[in-house]
Amino acid sequence: MIVMKFGGTSVEDATAIERVAEIVRSRAAEDPVVVVSALAGVTDQLLAAGQAAASGDRDRALERAQVLRQRHLCTASELLPSAPFGKVKPALESSFDLLQELLTGVATLRELSPRSTDCLLSFGELVSSDIVSAALAARGLAGERVDARECLITDASHTKAAPLFDETRARLEARVRPLVERHSIPVMGGFIGATLDGIPTTIGRGGSDYSASIVGAAMEAERIEIWTDVPGMMTTDPNLCSEARLIQEISFEEAAELASFGAKVLHPATLLPAIEKNIPVYVLNSRDPAGAGTCIRAHVPRNHYPVRAIAAKRNSTIVNVAGERGEIPRGFLREVLAVFDRHECQVDIVASSQVRISLAVESGSVAPELLADLERLAEVSCEPRQAIVSVVGENLRGRQGIAASVFGSVAAAGVNVRMISQGASEITINFVIQEEDVPAAVRRLHSDLFADAKAEEDWRWLPSGVRLPQPAPATDTDESNEVNAHGPEI
């Protein structure tokens, strides 16, 4: 059994949903469980309707609901012949009637609590799963709509509810497993669930990936496919560097490092339940279903390139904190970090010496109050418009010469490095440069680190004159080593 999750853009209209049906057909023999997002933009539009209602603008809220009703009915009627459309139409109409009642209530009370927000947002995934299951069924696939609120059970922390795994597993076994066993194709909404008492909840924006991961882990799926609108994860931002390539395989740890340092990729934290069970997760493009996509999993064989990917996070500021009397007293670092913590400012990189601490943080999170608090402790200066470049890969671990090579490339690009850190995990080298230097640094790094190395020339990316011993051959006997044998795997 596999889980296939389709994001908002993959189900945005009738054409997109037709593609989904064909993709599901291509996997029908593998017993897919389908998880769908709301149609693209719908969650935001529901929220906007709710906010209009809460501000007392009942008409505007209802107008928005009406637009959504039309869009869903049109999509369904485009997708379905008249008999099946006749069947799904009443379900859609009654969902939108309920939505309008809810908005009227919100407008009367002028109050949109987290609990009402969840009820409101749940409509997006409820109706998208109605439509997608009917579309599958109309194409001879045994699509069957499952109400996610009966399966994904959570606590009551509305808008960011935490799943109750044992209960969820039991519900999935009772409700979804029998469908899979008789080769039906269950279709459920992502992102939404309910408390034990049946009150609708949501598990955080973008939560459908998390739903897919929870369902996959609970039902011990063979793999999880996240269908989206990009080819997969790339070796660097293709907007920065036209040579960026698709990453075919990446470890969970690498993907997590990349996501936290600015790569706009699937956030692997949401995949944790699946990764813990060692279930591979694929990121695939619903507009190019034959594309290879990216596989994220716990362990990935080493590749022939020194790194897996390069990410750049702009909009950073370096905050310099200098101790008085030219020295940092004991406990000073702790006090400084406590200030950042108190102001909920996440510190990305810290570098410290006897006399000075430098911290790289997101520019938007440096509040004047934070700086005022710091100034009570020490002398403070800020350098805005910086960027953190991260070079990530399991190959960095324990290999000599990589740092020399990375900084050799940056120097060759004529770029000055302001701060450096290599994470405790040893799979990331982070450094800070001026924002305007990002394109030059990233392009040069990419062309040096992803030079088309053949295995025997593995290390030719080192700066000239530096030669290191060949690395021991990878010991992984993983089947995906075969992939490497056919060409440069990245």
* Residues at the interface with Mg ion (CB under 5 A): 7, 206
* 8 contacts ligand ASP (rule: CB under 6 A): yes
Q: CB 303: neighbour CB atoms within 10 A?
A: 22
CB of 367 to ligand ASP, least distance (A): 27
Tell me the C-alpha distance between 31 and 153, whole Å.
23
Residue with Cβ nearer Mg ion (264 or 342): 264
Please select the residue that binds ligand ASP; options are 32, 163, 207, 231, rule is CB under 6 A. 207
Question: Which residues, 6 or more positions from 229, have their beta carbon under 8 angstroms from its beta carbon?
Answer: 7, 9, 10, 285, 286, 287
Question: Which residues, 6 or more positions from 300, have their beta carbon under 8 angstroms from its beta carbon?
Answer: 249, 250, 251, 254, 394, 478, 480
* 32 contacts ligand ASP (rule: CB under 6 A): no
CB of 6 to ligand ASP, least distance (A): 9
CB of 269 to ligand ASP, least distance (A): 14
- Quick one: which segment of 35-43, 254-262, 283-291, 353-361 binds ligand ASP (CB under 6 A)? 35-43
Phi then psi for residue 482, to 5 deg, are -60, -40
Residue with Cβ nearer ligand ASP (192 or 445): 192
Q: Which does 397 bind (CB under 5 to 8 A by kind): Mg ion, ligand ASP, none?
A: none
Q: CB 290: neighbour CB atoms within 10 A?
A: 8
Tell me the C-alpha distance between 422 and 406, whole Å.
12
User: What is the residue whose two structure tokens read 């997760």?
Assistant: 281
Residue with Cβ nearer ligand ASP (202 or 236): 202
218 DSSP assignment: H
User: What is the residue whose two structure tokens read 């040069």?
Assistant: 444
Strand 428-434, strand 379-392: pairing: antiparallel
Contacts with ligand ASP in 169-198 (CB under 6 A)? 190-191
* 251 contacts ligand ASP (rule: CB under 6 A): no
- Quick one: which segment of 158-166, 169-177, 200-208, 445-453 binds ligand ASP (CB under 6 A)? 200-208
Strand 281-285, strand 249-251: pairing: unpaired
CB 387 within 8 A of CB 435: yes
Tell me the C-alpha distance between 161 and 172, whole Å.
18
Question: Which residues, 6 or more positions from 359, have their beta carbon under 8 angstroms from its beta carbon?
Answer: 318, 319, 321, 336, 340, 347, 349, 350
CB of 46 to ligand ASP, least distance (A): 9
Q: Between 94 and 133, how does the x/- string for binding to ligand ASP read (CB under 6 A)? A: ------------------------------x---------
Q: CB 467: neighbour CB atoms within 10 A?
A: 9
* 37 contacts ligand ASP (rule: CB under 6 A): yes
Residue with Cβ nearer Mg ion (206 or 401): 206
CB of 339 to ligand ASP, least distance (A): 33
Q: Is 156 exposed, middle or buried (0-12, 13-18, 19+ CB in 10 A)?
A: middle
Q: Which does 268 bind (CB under 5 to 8 A by kind): ligand ASP, Mg ion, none?
A: none
- Quick one: which segment of 199-207, 219-227, 306-314, 402-410 binds ligand ASP (CB under 6 A)? 199-207
Residue with Cβ nearer ligand ASP (10 or 133): 10
Q: Is 278 exposed, middle or buried (0-12, 13-18, 19+ CB in 10 A)?
A: exposed
Q: Which does 136 bind (CB under 5 to 8 A by kind): Mg ion, ligand ASP, none?
A: none
Tell me the C-alpha distance between 411 and 445, whole Å.
10
- Quick one: which segment of 89-97, 201-209, 343-351, 405-413 binds ligand ASP (CB under 6 A)? 201-209
User: What is the residue whose two structure tokens read 């899979």?
Assistant: 180
CB of 464 to ligand ASP, least distance (A): 48
Tell me the C-alpha distance between 33 and 21, whole Å.
13
Q: CB 404: neighbour CB atoms within 10 A?
A: 13
CB of 202 to ligand ASP, least distance (A): 8
CB of 190 to ligand ASP, least distance (A): 5
Tell me the C-alpha distance between 149 and 198, whole Å.
7
Please select the residue that binds ligand ASP; options are 84, 105, 114, 206, rule is CB under 6 A. 206
Residue nearest Mg ion, Cβ-based: 7
Q: Between 42 and 71, how does the x/- string for binding to ligand ASP read (CB under 6 A)? A: -x----------------------------
Residue with Cβ nearer Mg ion (124 or 143): 124
CB of 211 to ligand ASP, least distance (A): 8
Residues that bind ligand ASP (CB under 6 A): 7-8, 37-38, 43, 124, 190-191, 205-208
